[in-house]
Amino acid sequence: MYKIAVAGTGYVGLVAGVCFAAVGHQVTCVDIDENKIATMKQGISPIYEAGLEELMQQNYAAGRLAYTTDYVSAYKDADAIFIGVGTPEQSDGSANLSHIATVARQIAETIERDCLVVVKSTVPVGTNDKVEQFIKDFLINDVKVEVASNPEFLAQGTAVHDTLQAARIIIGTESKWAEEMLMKIYEPFNLPIVSVSRRSAEMIKYAANDFLALKISYMNDIANLCELVGADIQDVAKGMSFDERIGNKFLNAGIGYGGSCFPKDTKALEYLAKQNGYELRTVKAAIDVNTDQQTVLYKKANQRLITFNGLKVAILGLTFKPGTDDLREAPALANVPLLLAQGAELYAYDPVGAENFKSKYPEGENDRGSIKYVENVAEALEDANVCFIFTEWGEVKAVKPEEYRNLMRTPLVYDGRNIYRVNEMKAAGVEYYSIGRK
């Protein structure tokens, strides 16, 4: 078993650290945020993630997991240091690598024995070559240090499962020493390992995520055409899914992808291509379709209603998908300002995302309209003129078609997640619009 330090306790770092401890490694998670470290020491997870808190508590109690702001003590005698800090998108689409550079410098100045530095954060192809050189330039002690790439494919809400039962582990190394060590670290997971060069590993992360983003945008594009020609996107997807070359996942049309990965990784790869004098047309198309798709229902409703001014609008779901409190690139964030600018009175419901949304849109008057956060779906629907479904939470799916008719002033529903069958809504007397269906 190895002594591992993990830099950064966001989704990537914390989940990786906890899972390494769960398979028996000795792990110290490092973060600069003292409050976060103190909270985690009490067994509380800073993120909402199924099964994570239990694993944190078990492994902390077993002495395999520690949390600290003191990176020197964590790094100096670690066998391996995993970097899981953020690489936020900059205004031009490129990734901001300043957090990685900070950690790399700290590593260079503290390690006292041979150490493998493993970058889990998503970074542009070629970055890890630079990180290795950077660490070597600042290295104080005479020790061996190498950088490996080990991209992360976890989805929010299922992060622990996606790590412990990953479809594959990608490791990108430039030496036998690094490859063997990473293989041994991952041995207890008992998962397929794909061992490639560092640059290929970096590229696999983008290529895989952007392919999934493309798949979603493709289905959304086809869905929009389905509406125009009278076909049904769900039937079309079903018919496609039996072909194993296409597969039966990620074929759901909706109001576009959000989250911390697809929007950022598509733009970053497009930027990388541009920097290399190449235009990545497929990925650009995925981005363009997604941008339009996020407000496709707003545009439809706007035509139907003429204006939202003074209308009570029920918003069901604020997060970018169910099972998380994350709002990054959530369709709700694209639509809410448009509705407020028109003077709509919003009644928003989300089982876990409302608190985060409040920090962006505080309760009360906003722009020409107002926003109120309610405790349940019924409160949002009560007397509403129109309803938008942005996230397919279980609590939203549980609403029966009749409830829209009975609770709303006018039962007009725009469903961005195709939760209902068109016929059942019609039979219940609801005027219903969804994605890619008549």
Interface with ligand UDX in residues 12-31 (CB under 6 A): none
153 part of the interface to ligand UDX, by CB under 6 A:
yes
- Residues forming a β-bridge with 347: 314, 372
**Annotated active-site residue in 29, 115, 226, 261:** 261
The single residue among 321, 327, 334, 351 that binds ligand UDX, judged by CB under 6 A, is 321
Q: Which is nearer to ligand UDX, 60 or 298 (CB)?
A: 298
The single residue among 258, 351, 411, 416 that binds ligand UDX, judged by CB under 6 A, is 258
The single residue among 320, 357, 404, 433 that binds ligand UDX, judged by CB under 6 A, is 320
**Which residues, at least 6 apart from 382, have a Cβ–Cβ distance to it below 8 Å?**
347, 407, 408
Interface with ligand UDX in residues 194-213 (CB under 6 A): 209
SS3 sequence, the chain? CCEEEEECCCHHHHHHHHHHHHCCCEEEEECCCHHHHHHHHCCCCCCCCCCHHHHHHHHHHCCCEEEECCHHHHHCCCCEEEECCCCCECCCCCECCHHHHHHHHHHHHHCCCCEEEEECCCCCCCHHHHHHHHHHHHCCCCCCEEEEECCCCCCCCCHHHHHHCCCCEEEECCCHHHHHHHHHHHHHHCCCEEEECHHHHHHHHHHHHHHHHHHHHHHHHHHHHHHHHCCCHHHHHHHHHCCCCCCCCCCCCCCCCCCCCHHHHHHHHHHHHHHCCCCCHHHHHHHHHHHHHCCHHHHHHHHHHCCCCCCEEEEECCCCCCCCCCCCCCHHHHHHHHHHHCCCEEEEECCCCHHHHHHHCCCEEECCEEEEECCCHHHHHCCCCEEEECCCCHHHHCCCHHHHHHHCCCCEEEECCCCCCHHHHHHCCCEEECCCCC
The single residue among 13, 124, 172, 254 that binds ligand UDX, judged by CB under 6 A, is 254
Count of residues of this chain found to bind ligand UDX when the rule CB under 6 A is applied: 18
155 part of the interface to ligand UDX, by CB under 6 A:
yes
Q: Which range of residues in 105-113, 167-175, 224-232, 257-265 is near ligand UDX by CB under 6 A? A: 257-265
Q: Which range of residues in 132-140, 259-267, 362-370, 397-405 is near ligand UDX by CB under 6 A? A: 259-267
| Minimum separation from the CB atom of position 215 to ligand UDX (A) | 7
The single residue among 22, 154, 280, 287 that binds ligand UDX, judged by CB under 6 A, is 154
287 part of the interface to ligand UDX, by CB under 6 A:
no
261 classed as catalytic: yes
177 part of the interface to ligand UDX, by CB under 6 A:
no
414 part of the interface to ligand UDX, by CB under 6 A:
no
267 part of the interface to ligand UDX, by CB under 6 A:
no
Q: Which range of residues in 87-95, 137-145, 221-229, 244-252 is near ligand UDX by CB under 6 A? A: 244-252
Q: Which is nearer to ligand UDX, 257 or 361 (CB)?
A: 257
Interface with ligand UDX in residues 360-379 (CB under 6 A): none
The single residue among 261, 280, 344, 374 that binds ligand UDX, judged by CB under 6 A, is 261
| Minimum separation from the CB atom of position 304 to ligand UDX (A) | 23
Catalytically active residues, by annotation: 261
Query: Can you give the binding site for ligand UDX, defined by CB under 6 A?
Result: 152-156, 209, 216, 250-252, 254, 257-259, 261-262, 320-321
